[in-house]
Amino acid sequence: MKSVSELRQDIVSGDWVVIATGRAKRPREFLHRSRAPFIQPKNTCPFEKLHKNTLLVYGKDGKNIKNNWWVEAIPNKYPALAMHGVCALYHKAGIYQWIDGIGAHEVIVTRDHDRSLALMSDEEAELVIRVFQERYFALKADSCTEYVSIFHNHGRQSGATIVHPHSQIIAVPVIPPDVGRSLRGSAAYFHEHKACVHCLVIEYELKQKDRLIYENDYFLVIAPFASKTAFEIRVFPKVHAPHFEEMDSAGRAFCANALRVALAKLSKGLNNPDYNFFLHTAPVGDDKEFNHYHWHFEIVPKTAIWAGFEIGTGIEISVIAPETAAEFLRKIKI
C-alpha cells in the first residue's frame, strides 16, 4: 500500500516535518487570494519622506546622498529593544529570571511605496543588502550585542503593519532559540563528521537538482528537503562562510540577485503571497567558535495556518512536496 505521507527530518535541527503526499495539492492551489487587499495610501505613509534621524542613506548610484535617496536606515519609532547605557543585568523573582531589554531596533526603508524587493532590479536589491551589512557591522560593535537579526515581513499575514516595503534589524543580548538550534545542529554534525552540514546539503542539492530552484555563480536557491511549510525557500552561498557581514562586494551582487529571483518567482508563481524572510548567520563573538556554521536566508511564505497538531507537537505539515514546489518555481519566468 502506498504511504499517504512522509516524515522527513531536518538534517541540521533534527526537527521532523510531515510531507502529506496523500493530501497533496497542485501548486496553483496555493495562489494567494487575499480577503482584503493590503493597501495604505501614500499620503498617510510614514515612510514616504526621508527621515531627519536617518542612520544611513544611499541613492541609486550607491553614494551616501540625501537627494534622490533610494534606501535608508532609521531607528524604529516603537523599538522592541533599546540601549540604556549598560548591558543587560539578570534579575530574579523566586524561580524565575529575566534580563533588561537591552539592544537596538532599526528599520531599513526603500523609497518606492509599491515595489517590493521581488520587483526591484539587481542593483536596487544590492543596495538593500549593502545597508543590511553596514548596519550589521554598526550593531555588532556594541559590547552588549550577542546576535543581530535581519528580517522582512511582507503582507498582513506576515505581521507587517505598514504596506510600504521595509526590513528590520534587531540587536539582541542573547542568542535566539531558533538560531541556537541551528547552531547546535551544525556544531554536532561537524563534531561527528568533520564537515559543514550545509556544505554537504549544497553539494547534494546541486548534484540531484530535484529541489534546486535557481543558481548563479556564487549562490543557490533550494526548497529544503524537510520543508516546514509549502514553498519554503533557502538561499545559500556556495562557498562556506559563517558570517553574512563579511561577504565582499562581488558576493553581495550575486546574493542580491539570488534573493531577488527567489522572491520574484514566489511572487509571480503564487500571486504575491504574504511571506517572511530572515537571515541565519553566526552570532557576534569569537570567529573560531562558529566556523562550522554556514549563513543563509530563509523565506517562509504564509501558505498554511498552525492547527492543534502543529501547536501541540511542534511538527509541521506541508501538503506539497518540496520537489514539486521547486519544479513549479523553476519554470516561472521573471
pLDDT-based confidence at residue 84 (cuts at 50, 70, 90) = confident
Residue 284 lies in a domain: yes
151 falls within a domain? yes
HEC states along 145-158?
CCEEEEEEEECHHH
Triad 118, 206, 298: Cα angle to 5°: 40
pLDDT tens string 21-77: 766 566 666 666 655 678 888 999 999 999 999 999 999 988 877 778 999 999 999
Domain that holds residue 150: 6-52+112-330
Give the domain CATH number at 164: 3.30.428.10
| Domains: count for the chain | 1
- Is residue 96 domain-resident? no
How far apart are the C-alpha atoms of 57 and 134, rounded to whole Å?
Answer: 11
Is residue 73 situated within a structural domain? no
Look at residue 279 in the predicted model and tell me its pLDDT.
98
Kindly report, residue by residue over 201-231, the tens digit of the pLDDT: 999 999 999 999 999 999 999 999 999 999 9
In a domain, 71, yes or no: no
- Does any domain span residue 69? no
Does any domain span residue 22?
A: yes
pLDDT band (50, 70, 90) for residue 254: very high
What does the pLDDT look like over 268-289, one tens digit per residue? 999 999 999 999 999 998 778 8
Over its C-alpha atoms, the chain yields an Rg (Å, rounded) of 20
